[in-house]
Amino acid sequence: MMRALAFALRTLGREWRSGELGVLLLALTVAVAALTGVGFLVGRVATAVDLQAAEVLAADLRLGSPEPIDTKYEEEAARRDIRTARSTALLSVVFNGEQSQLTNLRAVGPGYPLRGKVLIADEPFAQGTPATGIPGTGEVWPDSRLLAALDARIGSQLTIGAATLRVSRVLISRPDQGGTFSELAPSLLMNIADIPATQLVQPGSRVSYRVLFAGDRGAIDLFKNWLLANKKRSERLLDITQESPQIKNAVERAGRFLSLASLVSVLLCAIAVAMSARRYVQRHLDSVALLKTLGATRGFTLSVSILQLMMVAVVATIAGSLLGFVAQEWLARTIRGLLNSNLPPADFKPLLIGFITAVAVLAGFALPPLLQLARVPAIRVLRRDIGPPPAFVLLAFGPAVLAVCFLIYWVVRDTWLFAWFTIGLVGFLALLSLAGAVLVALAGRLRGSVGVAWRYGVANLSRRRAESLIQIVAFGTGIMVLLLLGLVRNDLARDWRISLPEDLPNYFFINIPADQRDAFIKDIEQRGATPTRVLPMIRGRMTAINGRPIEDLRFNRQEGEDNATREQNLSWAAELGPDNRIVEGKWWGPEDYGKPLVSLATEFQESLHVKLGDTLTFDIAGETFTVTIASFRKVKWDSFQPNFFMVFAPGILERVTGTYLTSVHFDGSQARTLASLARKYPSVSIFDIEDLLERVRSVFDKAVLAVQSVFFFTLFAGLTVMMAAVQASRDERRYESAMLRTLGASRATVLQGVLAEFTTLGLLSGLLAALGASIGGYFVATRVLEMSYGFDERVWLTGTLGGALLVAFSGWLATRSVINHPPVTTLRAG
């Protein structure tokens, strides 16, 4: 082994000096650079999006409990360098003289909020500015609705329990005010140190204690596991995925896109390695045969090849990682201005990922040809037509398939997604091979009708049938994944843009009494705004599932228990909203109206463990309703339209007295008049989601920008990888070009021939790639990213023209040196 190592090192150095290793090293380096560059950027962008999303929770993690929370969690957090803050929430009536209002009190401690900002102002419904701390002791920050309801202003003294506290600012928004309508009462922010003076916390009072945590992503992930293992059963752990379904959706989709981008770079990496390894093996057939003639054993030649390739992998990984890091750092700096903030620093996981991927891809794609190489018989030195014996199909393709499957799973980490990708990829490869074979055969027939240069080029295509097929598959796959990424990126950005138009309702009005409904709508319209649809809303409790009382049921997840026991907002509808998709069962038609049917959001399906046909029993205003589950809906929460987890068929709930809900878009000046509206309809709850919308817009903007920049980065990396792959095929053309020139062909004719061959290759690959991308785009858009798919016919033009140009240009780059050299040099080198 030592002898093989020494020999491998010596010959590797020599091959490097002779320029022989350049192509393989270049392809691998670029591939690793693409992979790690995209990896670095994806990591940083994902962290940025997470941080932005975490603002909705005012923290990365929140531990809640109805009882005071032990300080041991904060002590553990401090040990792990995680910041903490406390907050206590309770409902109480707040007085301003004779006026009173049930209020959601938020008492917060120093450090709050850990993520995001509290916005305050000097008058109600005004533009807020970020607060620098929390209310001082003896001070409170009531929100605009509370001030309006209490007829109070800055300087007013409010009575809360046994304490009297002074209004020092108006609370415009706090990061954790929530996007759901669970907090119907107006809110007030106060200092946690004032809680004892209010004497509101008594045995039996409904108080919610919270501890907030924020820190590095890795530390938080570990701490979350620790918390889950150590917290009491009654303590509830919340992270962003549970708090805001809208942002969760957006973050998930951005994450999936970024995974897709990583996957694309992995596949490009695989293509580059496969092509270069093929070239490496082709070029070493003679050398290995010679080594064997000179007395090298099979084990020795195999060890030498493997050692050399491993050394190449190490060098390429180091060089590629450095290149990838520099490239993404440059990109991050370029987009810093657009992002309005710095991206968080890169962590170094992508380096390891880059190395593991390089090794996996090399092992999968390069090992089988290397094993073949070691089987080259020595007699090849006498008869060049004798190559290595054909490999077992399983051995030739097995490792590559395994490597790709491993990498796909590793990147997507989702069995369902993995299965789709693998099936899609296999189908596409089969299609490429089949269509490639047909097209190559057709090209063979076509050659009679074109000029000499084209005839030479196109003839090459059908003569080198196997080579051409491999190239069509490689280029086709490369172009396809790039097109697919481009298509999906456009769809995603468009979907986000149209889901958050400027005039999206930013105020929700809930609890509109049925008898005040028309007057209320009129008042809104008088203020120059138009309400969106007005929906019924009825509150009720779920009492049984399939006849078994809720109290007797045990749920695997805390979420199930929460969803089963909470007060439910119920509605009924005849039409399915455009942001809802039936995934199981069917939506009702007019013939079903009046039947006891309900449609559930998939979130409830999962947490309650229910299936179609199960019955749910509700207590609605003292009356019992038992309904059968008729369908499950996937709700796109980031549409920001009013949506309900449970929707009944029309004709059941109409007779129950409920309230109505509507949403309205108000611009800044109109919003100031809301104070009078709040006074006129004291029972109506007003929800200002402008701040939440802003936050979600900001998440979306960042995600769109991230998606765009990652796309362009991947595109650039992909083009470079493909160019490197074309380099791998230049040897085959080298000798023939020299021969043709010797026979009297001009350089222009030879060049035209090469261009003809590559252009045809590019056209064929591009055409097939466009087909693959169109079909793949549809699946990725509708199944993975859950959005509508806009068929884009430009993909055909981009695919075929772009493919032809790209491959022809790369081909020209690869062969121009051959054409510009005197033919004798090439012929002599043999």
Partner 1 sequence: MNHAQMQSAQALAHLETVLKAENLTKQVNSPEGLLTIVRDVSFEIAAGEPVAIVGASGAGKSTLLALLAGLDTPTSGKVWLAGTDLTALDEDGRARLRAQRVGFVFQSFHLVPALTALENVMLPLELAARPDARRAAREALERVGLRDRTSHYPRQLSGGEQQRVALARAFVTQPAVLFADEPTGNLDTVTGTRIGELLFELNSTSRTTLVLVTHDSTLAAKCARILRMEAGALRE
**Residues near partner 1 (CB under 8 A):** 3, 7, 10-11, 14-15, 18, 20, 286-287, 290-300, 377-379, 381-384, 825, 828-830
Nearer residue to partner 1 within complex by CB, 292 or 489:
292
68 contacts: CB under 8 Å, gap ≥ 6: 209
- 53: nearest Cα among 705, 498, 695: 695
CA distance 530 to 544: 40
775 contacts: CB under 8 Å, gap ≥ 6: none
Peptide bond preceding 822 in cis form (omega within 30 of 0): no
Residue 810 CB, nearest approach to partner 1 (Å): 24
For residue 282 the two structure tokens come to 């082709």
CA distance 680 to 321: 65
Instruction: Classify residue 448 by burial, with Cβ atoms within 10 Å: 0-12, 13-18, 19+.
Output: exposed
Contact 207, 201 (CB under 8 A): yes
Residue 7 CB, nearest approach to partner 1 (Å): 6
Contact 372, 295 (CB under 8 A): no
Residue 280 CB, nearest approach to partner 1 (Å): 11
- 471: nearest Cα among 814, 705, 15: 814
Q: CA angle at residue 514 from 513 to 518, to 5 degrees? A: 100
Residue 394 CB, nearest approach to partner 1 (Å): 23
CA distance 817 to 738: 11
Question: Which runs of E-coded beta strand occur in 177-263?
Answer: 187-191, 207-214, 236-239
Contact 258, 710 (CB under 8 A): yes
- 461: nearest Cα among 475, 449, 447, 476: 447
Element at 2 (helix H, strand E): helix 2-18
For residue 194 the two structure tokens come to 């004032």
Contact 659, 113 (CB under 8 A): no
Nearer residue to partner 1 within complex by CB, 72 or 828:
828
Residue 366 CB, nearest approach to partner 1 (Å): 18
- 436: nearest Cα among 408, 468, 477: 468
Nearer residue to partner 1 within complex by CB, 20 or 619:
20
Nearer residue to partner 1 within complex by CB, 22 or 578:
22
For residue 370 the two structure tokens come to 């290397």
32 contacts: CB under 8 Å, gap ≥ 6: 269, 316, 317, 319, 320, 321, 323, 324, 354, 355, 357, 358
CA distance 373 to 288: 7
For residue 830 the two structure tokens come to 């043999």
Residue 384 CB, nearest approach to partner 1 (Å): 8
CA distance 156 to 630: 54
Question: Which runs of E-coded beta strand occur in 553-674?
Answer: 567-572, 580-585, 597-601, 615-620, 623-635, 646-648, 659-664
Residue 737 CB, nearest approach to partner 1 (Å): 16
Nearer residue to partner 1 within complex by CB, 7 or 73:
7
- 493: nearest Cα among 772, 711, 775, 715: 711
**Identity at 280, one-letter amino acid code:** Y
Nearer residue to partner 1 within complex by CB, 206 or 828:
828
Contact 122, 67 (CB under 8 A): no
Question: Which runs of E-coded beta strand occur in 514-561?
Answer: 535-545, 548-549
236: helix, coil or strand? strand
Residue 274 CB, nearest approach to partner 1 (Å): 22
Nearer residue to partner 1 within complex by CB, 26 or 598:
26
CB atoms within 10 A of CB 323: 19
DSSP string, 480-514: HHHHHHHHHHHHHHHHHHHHS-TT---EEEEEEEG
- Cα 129 → chain centroid: 32
Q: What is the CA radius of gyration of the chain?
A: 33
**Identity at 780, one-letter amino acid code:** V
Residue 378 CB, nearest approach to partner 1 (Å): 4
For residue 542 the two structure tokens come to 């779920």
For residue 749 the two structure tokens come to 């004719």
- 488: nearest Cα among 699, 701, 331, 710: 710
Nearer residue to partner 1 within complex by CB, 381 or 705:
381
Residue 313 CB, nearest approach to partner 1 (Å): 19
The per-type count for the chain, helices as H runs and strands as E runs, is 25, 23
